[in-house]
Structure 1
Amino acid sequence: MAFVRQSKFRHVFGQAMKNDQCYDDIRVSRVTWDSLFCAVNPTFVAVVVEASGGGAFLVLPLHKTGRIDASHPTVCGHKSPVLDIEWCPHNDHIIASGSDDCTVKVWEIPENGVQVPITEPLVSLDYHSKKVGIVAWHPTASNILLSAGCDNIIVIWNLEEGEPQITLDMHPDLIYNVSWNRNGSLICTACKDKNVRVIDPRKQKIIAEKEKAHEGSRPMRAIFLEDTRILTTGFDRMSERHVALWDTENMEEPMTLVELNVASGVLMPFYDYDSKVIFLCGKGDTTISYYEFTHEEPYIHFLSVFSSGSTQRGMGYMPKRGLNVNKCEIARFFKLQERKCEPIVMTVPRKSDLFQDDLYPDTAGPEPALEASEWFDGKNADPLLISLKSEFVPTKKSEFKMKKNILGKKVTRNTENSGDSSGKSDAKMEELLKEIKSLKDMVSNQEKRIRQLEEKLTDHTE
């Protein structure tokens, strides 16, 4: 009898949102560049779009679903197509973009979204001599942005100074992707020369390297799963897609190699540190496959596949703090089609009405753990974690009240009094909820005011 490995993620199922929950009539960029073209956070979804005479991307509040007007204003300050975008992990209103025009720009999105075209960035960063295809924020330190261009150079910017603080010229060919590790002390890269490199950016030193990680000539990807574990996706000589797991302390042979299928699309890997689930989305595929990473062989365990009828041109991945914990949602993707952005929800089926602690351990929050200067001076810090329990709303007791009423019919004495007391408790509950809401609003307003004052302060100090 075949042994079936136990896992709470074995029955994860994906579901595409209904049409009215999608973003329709979006002219998704046709640029032939292997990036995601979509970035999401708990407030906004951003999509790189076709634009005449320059480069632009669309930013929509998450709730603004349905048909998007063709004249909807965009962020459009680049002179050539936008190739990559990424939201700042420490501020949901800040987004970076890299473009064919050789520049990196950082933008601030207003509270209510983009009401008029945004042409002026907060800062424009010029260093690269060729197009910039990769932007990646530091995961734990504030105001640090990495960019990589077709000049084969990686630049790490200190946005407090607006200056390139570190430049890494150690790739002989096009860099396919760059990934930070969990605390931002290391980066790993996949390059057109078929090598995967692990780099300490502050020491400007390669600390591990694997030549010909995948034999095929099509683009590879490399991401950190843990500080000493790297996952790569690529192709063999026969164009079969492979996924490999590497130990950075010994990169002679992969710890495991998973052979997938023959398809031309580059496999984009996503990893959830909390659940240890790896998601693979291929460009031009109609599927998202998912696997669980463990410390027992074969290390990468197949879970399931989500399939839909349409191919994906790009993909956005929601940070954990933007998920619906009430519905046991462990991931949410934003799939780009030709003229549409379709959210896909990944859920673990559970019947309990309680908060699922095992699905939602404390996760990376929006507060940076370090200042930029501290990181450049050599300090490291893990992400500051937050509990998602505060997002959980217990099931209302309305069903229980109905049962009370059914019982009430059988009781002849004291019915008036009991009805009176339940009415009082309902009113009390409503009063408490109102008070909580007003306190939350007050805190939110104070935070906004603090932000405004801090901005004024920085303006004065400049």
Structure 2
Amino acid sequence: MQQRRVVRSSKFRHVFGQAVKNEQCYDDIRVSRATWDSSFCAVNPKFVAVIVDASGGGAFMVLPLQKTGRIDKSYPAVCGHTAIVLDIEWCPHNDHIIASGSEDCTVMVWMIPENGLTVPITEPVVILEGHTRRVGIISWHPTARNVLLSAGCDSLIIIWNVGTGEAMITLDDMHPDLIYNTSWNQNGSLICTTCKDKKLRVIDPRKEEIIAEKEKAHEGARPMRAVFVANGNILTTGFSRMSERQIALWNPQNIQEPIALQELDTSNGVLLPFYDADTNVVYLCGKGDSSIRYFEINDEAPYIHYLNTFASKEPQRGMGYMPKRGLDVTRCEIARFFKLHERKCEPIIMTVPRKSDLYQDDLYPETPGPEPALEAEEWFEGKNKDPILISLKDGYVPGKNREFKVQRNRLDKPQNKKNESGSTPMKGITTNANSESKLDELLQEVKTLKATITSQDERIANLEEQMAKIAI
């Protein structure tokens, strides 16, 4: 008797992706041509930020979500770095704060005005200095306010208290080579990392110890990626010895053998994983690919279940991923990507087809909101808390822009002494970010206007000279 193949039931089997119309894209953006394997794009419910090519330094653009269409060449950018920007990430607890890492070895934290930029921003709220080589990875703590992780090509991981500008934890002897990526677990008590030495590591950053590691998680020489998923497991992407792209699932308690391992194809683009904890769906976006593949992860073999592929014609140079609270729940939208082309950023919407217009509880369990569960000091003292969840039943309404609090840096004293831990003083940190950033904005505008007046004066003088010559 012929066996009937049982199709696994899942509400995400029919998720389909759709690119928006041309007029809803962000056009004429000079997307960075750097060869670094980061996503080059960061989005939140208010803004989309894209790393761009800039002469004489590093820059990224910040556009209000609704500012679609052609972007003027003179549109202001965030341009305080002296070398190429390699990574950017929005703060999960304040939609106006973004951090950037650069080839100039610094990490900078920026305050974006309520309605976006009207003039270029060159002065960050905080400059964090401690790396000796370029900084390629930036990652905010998921539940604690003002805690930021950076990783550099000096094989260092530094965890900062952004509020004071101090390097609180420096993990300097765990990685012998280039760090490819880092990922926090759900409550931010652990990080997992991948490295050029092909090891997957699980680290307790506050105890400064490796609690699990797997040699040759993927045998290939090309870069790996790792993210924490449900039940504290870790999903990795990498390459086999024969250069086939792979995806694997690991249990840190028993990390020697993968729970599941699948081979995908032979493309050579690094697979960037974006994991949605609410639905247990992971989206894989390969750099240079023209597709987004998605899988559901659960407790039944084969554990990683292929769902579908969104395919398009153009290859992607990078990808931004919208937090759940920025999605349109009335359209059953479960994910939104911002795909970078050479000269534009194109939103791609993932939806679950449903006939009903009613709110779909099963698609939208409570999701992490913007309120931090802990203060930085509490986390550094050893406390852990899960994210504070919110319901999306009536859609997410962004709250009033909260003030970003930074203290006068205790280390920033005239005598310029080192502190007990030997870290060097950080650069000037503002006492009141809101008023100072407003002042900077106004000063910048005055400067721009003065420059315009000077150039117009020169032009008038030239014209008068020409007129005088003709009159003679």
Residues matched between the structures, number: 409
1:167 to 165, 170, 184: 170
State how far apart, in whole Å, the 2-side matches of 1:46 and 1:332 are: 15
State how far apart, in whole Å, the 1-side matches of 2:119 and 2:243 are: 46
1:303 to 289, 304, 307: 307
Tell me which amino acid in the other structure corresponds to 1:230: I
1:262 to 248, 261, 266: 266
2:403 to 424, 428, 451: 451
State how far apart, in whole Å, the 1-side matches of 2:351 and 2:63 are: 24
Paired-residue identity, %? 70
Aligned residue number for residue 423 of structure 1: none
State how far apart, in whole Å, the 2-side matches of 1:203 and 1:285 are: 39
State how far apart, in whole Å, the 2-side matches of 1:109 and 1:228 are: 34
Aligned residue number for residue 294 of structure 2: 290
**1:235-290: CA deviation from partner (whole Å, max 9, x where unpaired):** 01111000000011111111110110000100000110001101000000000000
- Contact in 2 for aligned 1:225/1:273 (Cα 8 Å): yes
SS in 2 for 1:254: coil
TM-score by length of 2: 0.84
Aligned residue number for residue 122 of structure 2: 119
**1:183-235: CA deviation from partner (whole Å, max 9, x where unpaired):** 00000000000000000000000000000000000000011003530000000
Aligned residue number for residue 368 of structure 2: 364
State how far apart, in whole Å, the 1-side matches of 2:75 and 2:232 are: 45
Query: Given the alignment of the two structures, is residue 146 of structure 1 paired with residue 149 of structure 2, yes or no?
Result: yes
SS in 2 for 1:391: coil
Matches within 5 A, 1:50-449: 50-169=53-172, 170-226=174-230, 228-391=232-395, 447-448=400-401
TM-score by length of 1: 0.86
- Contact in 1 for aligned 2:14/2:353 (Cα 8 Å): yes
State how far apart, in whole Å, the 1-side matches of 2:205 and 2:301 are: 32
Q: State the shift of 1:456 in Å.
A: 11
2:31 to 28, 31, 39: 28
- Contact in 2 for aligned 1:323/1:331 (Cα 8 Å): yes
TM-align CA RMSD:
1.8
- Residues 298/460 of structure 1: CA separation in 2 closer, same or farther (3 Å cut): closer
State how far apart, in whole Å, the 1-side matches of 2:370 and 2:296 are: 26
State how far apart, in whole Å, the 1-side matches of 2:94 and 2:432 are: 21
State how far apart, in whole Å, the 1-side matches of 2:184 and 2:431 are: 31
Which stretches in structure 2 are left out of the alignment for 5+ residues?
A: 409-429, 434-472
SS in 2 for 1:389: coil
Tell me which amino acid in the other structure corresponds to 1:47: V
- Contact in 2 for aligned 1:181/1:227 (Cα 8 Å): no
Which stretches in structure 1 are left out of the alignment for 5+ residues?
A: 393-439
State how far apart, in whole Å, the 2-side matches of 1:456 and 1:36 are: 31
State how far apart, in whole Å, the 1-side matches of 2:204 and 2:407 are: 36
**1:168-195: CA deviation from partner (whole Å, max 9, x where unpaired):** 0110000000000000000000000000
- Contact in 2 for aligned 1:267/1:281 (Cα 8 Å): yes
- Contact in 2 for aligned 1:292/1:300 (Cα 8 Å): yes
Query: Given the alignment of the two structures, is residue 9 of structure 1 paired with residue 45 of structure 2, yes or no?
Result: no
**1:328-367: CA deviation from partner (whole Å, max 9, x where unpaired):** 0000000000001000000000011110000000000000
Q: State the shift of 1:390 in Å.
A: 1.7
- Contact in 1 for aligned 2:368/2:389 (Cα 8 Å): yes
Work out which structure has the larger RCO, using CA pairs closer than 8 Å and 6 or more positions apart in sequence.
2
- Contact in 2 for aligned 1:190/1:196 (Cα 8 Å): yes
Runs of 4+ in 1 over 4 A off after TM superposition: 454-458
State how far apart, in whole Å, the 2-side matches of 1:460 and 1:35 are: 32
**1:286-334: CA deviation from partner (whole Å, max 9, x where unpaired):** 0000000101111110000000010000000000000000000000000
State how far apart, in whole Å, the 2-side matches of 1:147 and 1:227 are: 25
Q: State the shift of 1:44 in Å.
A: 0.1
State how far apart, in whole Å, the 2-side matches of 1:460 and 1:62 are: 27
Q: State the shift of 1:455 in Å.
A: 8.0
State how far apart, in whole Å, the 2-side matches of 1:390 and 1:19 are: 29
SS in 1 for 2:73: coil
SS in 1 for 2:282: strand
- Relative to its length, the structure with more helix (as a share) is 1
Q: State the shift of 1:93 in Å.
A: 0.2
State how far apart, in whole Å, the 2-side matches of 1:343 and 1:358 are: 25
- Contact in 1 for aligned 2:135/2:152 (Cα 8 Å): yes
